A and B are shown apart, each in its own frame.
Chain A
Amino acid sequence: EDQVTQSPEALRLQEGESSSLNCSYTVSGLRGLFWYRQDPGKGPEFLFTLYSAGEEKEKERLKATLTKKESFLHITAPKPEDSATYLCAVRAFSSGSARQLTFGSGTQLTVLP
């Protein structure tokens, strides 16, 4: 069974204080690892897809990296508007044509001014 574990569950940072969020996964053949941002009461917003170990992607203050067992979302010099829940999800080859995602429970990030 595919599993995704995110840590920490919650993280409070001061504005400008860089940190990383962790996503550990167990999957029978990784077809893709996805990062989403979710604001309260809203649907998840797509951030990145990573396909193979060693791959990195960046978007503004965010950088996602991937190893064979985990992914990190690095946040550099965060701002209060980066406050949100960050969700990690995996897609396995076993998901077939449906390509459904298995999500972790998320990390709730709060950036204080």
Chain B
Amino acid sequence: DAGVTQSPTHLIKTRGQQVTLRCSPKSGHDTVSWYQQALGQGPQFIFQYYEEEERQRGNFPDRFSGHQFPNYSSELNVNALLLGDSALYLCASSFSGRGNTGELFFGEGSRLTVL
């Protein structure tokens, strides 16, 4: 049973560029959340996708956008990159149906460095 998979694992961009990160949820999960984790900090909620729509959003600017596909996989897009966007981007999947326990299962993350 494959867990949450993310790609790419590492990438380097320059200021002003755009980046797309990808996530495939754990089998049986239908909900994908994205978190940003700066070095030495805990993860911060960016947004969550369910039924191909953004269900809730954290305190992040519109430069951060996402998408969920019919197979439940998801993308995170960041435009006009800033140095402060350098972080580990984590995808977490969960099941939103009846009987769900609310536990999040995280991927290994995509390490973004902005130069």
Residue numbers of A with Cβ under 8 A of B are 4, 31-32, 34, 36, 41-46, 49, 87, 89, 91, 95-106
Given A41-B111, A98-B55, does the pair A105, B40 have CB atoms closer than 8 Å? yes
Choice from B48, B56, B90, B111 contacting A44 with Cβ under 8 Å: B90
Q: Which of B20-50 contact A (CB under 8 A)?
A: 33, 40-45, 48, 50
Residue numbers of B with Cβ under 8 A of A are 4, 33, 40-45, 48, 50, 55-56, 58, 88, 90, 94, 96, 101-109, 111
Closest 8 CB pairs of A and B: A103-B42, A98-B56, A43-B106, A100-B45, A98-B48, A44-B106, A43-B108, A98-B55
Q: How far is the CB of A103 from chain B (nearest CB, A)?
A: 3
A4 in contact with B42 (CB, 8 Å) = yes
Q: How far is the CB of B97 from chain A (nearest CB, A)?
A: 12
- Residues of chain B within 8 A (CB-CB) of A99 are 94, 102
B102 in contact with A32 (CB, 8 Å) = yes
**Which of A42, A98, A104 counts the most chain B CB atoms within 10 A?**
A98
**Which of A45, A99, A104, A105 counts the most chain B CB atoms within 10 A?**
A99
A42 in contact with B58 (CB, 8 Å) = no
Q: How far is the CB of B33 from chain A (nearest CB, A)?
A: 6
